[in-house]
Structure 1
């Protein structure tokens, strides 16, 4: 049966095509590609640099100034009504918990991997889509509940900022571009973490926003997979998703 094999020059035997391809891929693994670079992943690199700057400000600036900046960037209902464009952008310039937080680390790894597969523009689009839609999906019901008298007016004014919704969308999008043996544990592990947060119920709006953002990222699979196949075909590689 000669289908699906090619001659192995070094040994004189024959190996399946997928084994040869896997060998080439493993041999080409470069750990430093997990990190963003100015030329390879300009969006992830530039954004990470900006987050480092705002994290330094948050850590070392006058606490009153930091609080004012965070409050002015908050995507609570009151701010969304007055200046939606400003706060939706401004809230994504801060990292809740600092650069050592899980979502900050996830930002670097996930967005770098995603940008290497689909480019900076689409990566920025996924991040922005998750950040904006998940924010609106969690804050708009609060405004409606206040108008209906089910929540106090103080619910319109809360400190809400960070990159976690965008990162969650990035995880969902990236999973669709990975082979199943990586996709399943990524979604299962991240989903389990989000479920634990929901059960803890310490911050309901944020905790519900994360799975919403994850689902938004998953919804981008058809578009991103098509672009990724075109890119892989151009490079002469086999697609990594199915």
Structure 2
């Protein structure tokens, strides 16, 4: 009966056959079984501690060239002809006020002369109207242009108030105009009332025809000179206006107007610190 060959158990020893001997220092090399890698256990997605397990950061992009960075748009400081004229969006106060002056000027030229005369007398800033109806007189006198649309005041109004409003805004321009108009009107008419009361002037001096936008306009001229970027333009504007006012003083055809115009200009000059702060706060581009 044939015996089976079983692997040698270290605890069971077979009887040695004296006739069968293996050569000494010999070993039997059995082929190794291929090693199969054990399947990996599924990984659990645990929350990572930001201090211990920082996520791998993506490689930082190369530093951009500073010259290639997008620069903010630079405001256009070039002067254009349209900057002299008011626009509905850019200078709404001057544009709306100019339309009112055009309408009143056309009505004064084409309307009924008796009605126009009555409106002008009611709008006069003389002592009699300032005493009885001050608001109507002060507001109404600023709605007319002395001399109509052909007057130099009409062109000066468009250019000066447009330039001032572009720098300090519409409400502030209106404040400068109103301050010069009211303050110069009161400063010229109150002395007349005092002189009549003291007996130095006749009572007819209490009733005079005085209307127009000249006082407010000259106050805006003085304020505009303080916010002009070019020094030669600032002093050139003041020099030209001062020359015209000096001629009026020499002629002295209308004493109150001749004195009120320089006063209104000085009121605008006195407001330089205020209008310069307004311009700096608004940060508007200065073309001139």
Q: Normalization by structure 1: what TM-score? A: 0.85
Which residue of the partner structure matches residue 214 of structure 1?
265
The alpha carbon displacement at 1:67 in A equals 0.6
Kindly indicate whether residue 151 of structure 2 is the aligned counterpart of residue 69 of structure 1.
no
The alpha carbon displacement at 1:133 in A equals 0.3
Q: Could you tell me how far apart the structure 2 residues matched to 1:199 and 1:188 are?
A: 16
Which residue of the partner structure matches residue 165 of structure 2?
115
Misfit runs of 4+, over 4 Å: 237-240
Q: Could you tell me how far apart the structure 2 residues matched to 1:104 and 1:202 are?
A: 21
**1:4-83, aligned counterparts within 5 Å?**
25=77, 28-83=78-133
- Pick one of 116, 141, 150 that aligns with 1:100: 150
The alpha carbon displacement at 1:30 in A equals 1.6
Report Cα offsets for 1:133-189 as digits up to 9, x if no partner.
000010000000000000000000000000000000010000000121111110010
The alpha carbon displacement at 1:29 in A equals 1.7
Q: Normalization by structure 2: what TM-score? A: 0.72
Q: Could you tell me how far apart the structure 1 residues matched to 2:195 and 2:103 are?
A: 37
Q: Do the aligned partners of residues 167 and 238 (structure 1) sit closer, same or farther apart at CA in structure 2, a change above 3 Å counting?
A: closer
Q: Do the aligned partners of residues 238 and 152 (structure 1) sit closer, same or farther apart at CA in structure 2, a change above 3 Å counting?
A: closer
- Structure 2: gaps (5+ residues): 1-66, 68-73
Alpha-carbon RMSD: 1.7
Which residue of the partner structure matches residue 244 of structure 2?
193
Q: Would you say the 8 A contact 2:167–2:286 is kept in 1?
A: no
- Pick one of 211, 226, 229 that aligns with 2:277: 226
**1:87-166, aligned counterparts within 5 Å?**
87-166=137-216
Kindly indicate whether residue 135 of structure 2 is the aligned counterpart of residue 85 of structure 1.
yes
Q: Could you tell me how far apart the structure 1 residues matched to 2:149 and 2:271 are?
A: 27
- Structure 1: gaps (5+ residues): 1-8, 10-20
**Whose helix proportion is higher, 1 or 2?**
1
